[in-house]
Amino acid sequence: MSKKCFIVGLLILSASLVATAVLYPSLPGRVPTHWDLHGQIDGYSAKWTLFVFGPGILAALLGMFAALPWLSPRQFTVDTFRSTYLYIVVVTLAVVAYFHALVLWAAQGGHVDITKAMWGGACLLVALLGNVMGKVRRNFWIGVRPPWTLANERVWYATHRFAAKTMVLGALTSLLVSLAGTPFWMPFTTLMAGVLAPAIYSLVYYKQLERRGEI
């Protein structure tokens, strides 16, 4: 991970930590940490757990992203798509920080439809990641990684170009369906279709190449 990206990650982590620390004294002893599909609170936790669910998770993610380039085998290094990898790191950390900000807002009594707000964040994350899927090179950590993409570079590239379309389309459609007030299973199914379709595509495409003797 580049020094600049690591600093950005630390800034996101620090902002989350400071916000939690500043609000902590004014929060009740137990705060809402789980909501049902209708946005109703159905779970509470001690307020100290906010440090775990927010800054703690961000710190773990930042450490993981920093370690992955070193852990990667030489033939599957993330250095082959470094700028895209760094983009993925920053986008992921930013959306996780956004989720934590929503929890903090709810914990201090702020009014928000947290289910829709979090689902919007999830859709945004999938769309932003999908936007760069075509630039991700073969590796063991990022992208669509069933056996068929890892086994063949041609299948990898075709699958990720396909994923770039389905992930963005699925995320945007899911967001619109959710805002329309439909039952939760509809936006959920739409998003999952966009995410899972590339894995099915990779199997179909691999078998086509196999039958033609091109593998």
pLDDT in tens, 24-57: 999 999 998 888 877 788 888 999 999 999 999 9
Instruction: Look at residue 31 and give its three-state secondary structure.
Output: strand
Domains: count for the chain: 2
Instruction: Look at residue 11 and give its three-state secondary structure.
Output: helix
**pTM (predicted TM-score):** 0.91
Q: Which residue from 204, 178, 7, 26 is spatially nearest to 90, judged by alpha carbons?
A: 7
- Could you tell me the end-to-end alpha-carbon distance of the chain, in angstroms, rounded to an integer? 34
Residues 122 and 106 in one domain: no
Residues 41 and 83 in one domain: yes
Instruction: Look at residue 46 and give its three-state secondary structure.
Output: strand
Last residue of a domain, one of 112, 143, 159: 112
Burial class (CB in 10 A: 0-12, 13-18, 19+), 175: buried
pLDDT at residue 89 in the model: 96
Residues 47 and 93 in one domain: yes
Helices and strands (DSSP H and E) totals, the chain: 8, 2
pLDDT at residue 33 in the model: 87
Residues 102 and 174 in one domain: no
Q: Which residue from 161, 131, 156 is spatially nearest to 145, judged by alpha carbons?
A: 156
Residues 60 and 139 in one domain: no
Give the residue numbers spanning the domain of 179: 116-215
Residues 101 and 136 in one domain: no
For 136, other C-beta atoms within 10 Å of its C-beta total: 24
Burial class (CB in 10 A: 0-12, 13-18, 19+), 147: exposed
Residues of the chain with pLDDT under 50: none
Residues 99 and 163 in one domain: no
pLDDT at residue 1 in the model: 64
Instruction: Look at residue 72 and give its three-state secondary structure.
Output: coil
